[in-house]
Amino acid sequence: MAGYTVLANRYRPRVFADVVGQEDAARVLQSSLRDGRAAHAFLFSGPRGVGKTSMARILAKAFNCLENALGEPCGTCRVCTSIDEGSECFDVEEIDGASHNRVENVRELIERLRFAPVEARFRITIVDEVHMLSTAAFNALLKTLEEPPAHAKFILATTEPLKVPETIRSRCQILDFRRLMADQIALRLGQVCDGENVTAPEELLPRVARHAQGGMRDALTLLDQLITFGEGSPRVEDFERLTGRLSAELLQSMLSSALQSDTAEVQRLAEQALDRGARPADLLAQLVEWLEGVLVSCAGGTPADRGDQELAALTDLAARTNVDHVVAMLDVLLEAQRRLRQRHDGQLVVEMALISLARLEQLAGMAELLASGGATSAPVAPARPASPAAAARAASPRATPSATSRPAPRAAAPSTQDGSAMQREPAPQPAPRAAASPRSAPAAQPVSAAHAAPAAKAAAAPQAATASATPAPTADFRTRFLEAVPGRSLRLELLRYTALRHEGDALVLCPPRDGPPPLYDPQSPDVAKQLLAAAEKACGARLSLRIEEASSAPDSQADSKANSKANPASAPGSSAEAGGGNPIERRVRELWPDAHDVDG
Ligand SMILES: [Zn+2]
């Protein structure tokens, strides 16, 4: 292995024409050299591994090449080769700012600059990581930058330009180096593989490129390792093992199960991923990366830098969801990433996030309910459908059990202006639907368990004592019916209806009198057809549609009367009572007819 040069060095660009991804910077430098307008000091700024040092060496060669006029170094003369090989070249000095950051180091450097170049045109000083210099060192450098000898050129490189004093920056020509596009990197990796006589699986190089996040050096270093690991044949399995990347199949199944609200499967897959050695942060980052792709697909675009297999998977996922939902999912994951940075129990954070993902549909339903609840109890503010994103915020794992004293989903109930009403509505998001969905078992899951408590408290709202008075079959019908109704906006509107029940062989509806004008006319043939189909799903029989005129005493008059009898404390005028009970409370009572009032 003696004499082996790593790929990153062997395939370093040697002339401006070889530069990949930083063509703009190369063009600017080349043309200023050609016109003889080159600055005497340059500051190259940009993330690590994107070619700053390579460009600095090319520029040094271009200044000093013995063969060529300014513009493009020949790459073969003695100066060019000595710079390439990093061997003795009296006129080009390269130092690392991190290890030579003291004022003495800079003074020595400047001392040497007093002498004219030995064989080339300029004495060139390259300072890498220049932001690491001490203040005194910067001051010493500044003096020379202000009045440099005619034969001196400085090339400073930094990953943190803002840490370089303004006085230094203002005396340099600044060039920004961008992260490389993944397909630029993948293309280069392909060329390197050809050059090395190595065959890589088709899907491997784009994945290596994407993993490098814009850094060519990292990509080449990784490829080097993969070639070594695979004894000449880089393999996808090695890539996944070395980097903690998960297989496309696994990520796809995980998101797919989340979209199907299959919490058990999502948990199983997450465990599998963590067992395979993926760190929690890796897992979250990759899910975010995939969801970004799904989001672009949902919006009708084509995600960049993805292999064919992954593109197909993203398109498939996108077809099963919508932009709002994906945004909400991203919200949950980004919040989880934030939390992960603050605590060590990464596995718990990941599990909570994934369960939240799988339950978003339910959470969104709850947000709608909260939104509509605000509309009914406080008609001054028009109902505004809470977006799933709002639901996600409400659901975001910030709401830990200890936080129950400060209910989370304020965002989800934007229309309630009555502060006291707000306080009486704790944070019940996932729980209510959970009871309606046979798949979920709230108590068994940490997230829902965390919220079950406040939900139960909501159930214990004043009227709860009379909960048994609510005819259970009707309540079940309402829930099942709403779940069977296609379309979020129609469902949202139905939640505002003052009557919605199954009576004999009729579906009885009473549209709201107040609030924003309705979007749907239940009597229009299309809507009626959808409603009756949903009703049939809910009760198993074909019903006829009966529309009731809205009156001042709506739907649950019976409930209201029963309430005021059984619970005189709930005065008929209170905002939650007006309108036959706050829909949230009503809904909670439907779901937990046996709930007890813990307050009274
Ligand atoms: Zn040359």
Give the tens place of pLDDT for each residue, 49-72. Answer: 999 999 999 999 999 988 866 678
Using the predicted structure, report yes or no on whether residue 468 has a pLDDT greater than 60.
no
Q: Domain 248-358, what fold?
A: Zinc Finger, Delta Prime; domain 3 (1.20.272)
| Cα 64 to ligand 1 centre (Å) | 7
| Cα 124 to ligand 1 centre (Å) | 15
| Cα 85 to ligand 1 centre (Å) | 13
- State whether residue 443 is helix, strand or coil: helix
Using the predicted structure, report yes or no on whether residue 399 has a pLDDT greater than 50.
no
**How far is it, in rounded angstroms, from Cα 421 to Cα 419?**
5
| Cα 556 to ligand 1 centre (Å) | 90
| Cα 98 to ligand 1 centre (Å) | 30
| Cα 152 to ligand 1 centre (Å) | 19
| Cα 74 to ligand 1 centre (Å) | 4
| Cα 4 to ligand 1 centre (Å) | 25
Q: What are phi and psi of 387, to 5 degrees?
A: -75, 160
Contact call for residues 367 and 429 (beta carbons, < 8 A): yes
Q: What is the DSSP string of 118-179?
A: SSSS-EEEEEETGGGS-HHHHHHHHHHHHS--TTEEEEEEES-GGGS-HHHHTTSEEEEPPP
Using the predicted structure, report yes or no on whether residue 264 has a pLDDT greater than 50.
yes
| Cα 106 to ligand 1 centre (Å) | 28
Select from 379, 384, 373 the least CA-distant residue to 424. 373
| Cα 44 to ligand 1 centre (Å) | 22
| Cα 81 to ligand 1 centre (Å) | 7
Select from 331, 320, 274 the least CA-distant residue to 298. 320
Select from 359, 353, 164 the least CA-distant residue to 260. 359
Of 196 and 594, more confident: 196
| Cα 82 to ligand 1 centre (Å) | 10
| Cα 92 to ligand 1 centre (Å) | 13
Return the minimum-mean-pLDDT range out of 53-57, 548-552, 594-598.
Answer: 594-598
Hey, how many other C-beta atoms are within 10 angstroms of the C-beta on 534?
Answer: 21
Query: Which of the listed ranges 121-130, 302-311, 455-464 does the model predict with the highest average pLDDT?
Result: 121-130
Q: Which class for 272: exposed (0-12), middle (13-18), buried (19 or more C-beta within 10 A)?
A: middle
| Cα 48 to ligand 1 centre (Å) | 27
| Cα 29 to ligand 1 centre (Å) | 17
What's the pLDDT band for 215 if we cut at 50, 70, 90? very high
Spans of all domains in the chain: 7-176, 182-243, 248-358, 363-462, 467-591
| Cα 63 to ligand 1 centre (Å) | 9
Contact call for residues 448 and 403 (beta carbons, < 8 A): no
| Cα 11 to ligand 1 centre (Å) | 18
Q: What is the mean pLDDT of residues 107-118?
A: 89
What is the pLDDT at residue 68?
67
Q: What is the mean pLDDT of residues 492-504?
A: 80
Q: What is the DSSP string of 535-558?
A: HHHHHSS--EEEEPPP-SS-TTHH
Return the minimum-mean-pLDDT range out of 153-157, 473-477, 507-511.
Answer: 473-477
| Cα 67 to ligand 1 centre (Å) | 5
pTM of the full predicted structure? Answer: 0.56
What's the pLDDT band for 474 if we cut at 50, 70, 90? low
Select from 369, 344, 375, 570 the least CA-distant residue to 482. 369
Of 14 and 371, more confident: 14
| Cα 199 to ligand 1 centre (Å) | 34
| Cα 13 to ligand 1 centre (Å) | 14
| Cα 149 to ligand 1 centre (Å) | 23
Q: What is the mean pLDDT of residues 492-516?
A: 80
The CATH number given to 7-176 is 3.40.50.300
Using the predicted structure, report yes or no on whether residue 466 has a pLDDT greater than 50.
no
What's the pLDDT band for 303 if we cut at 50, 70, 90? confident
Q: Domain 182-243, what fold?
A: Helicase, Ruva Protein; domain 3 (1.10.8)
Rg (CA), the chain: 33
Of 591 and 334, more confident: 334
| Cα 65 to ligand 1 centre (Å) | 4
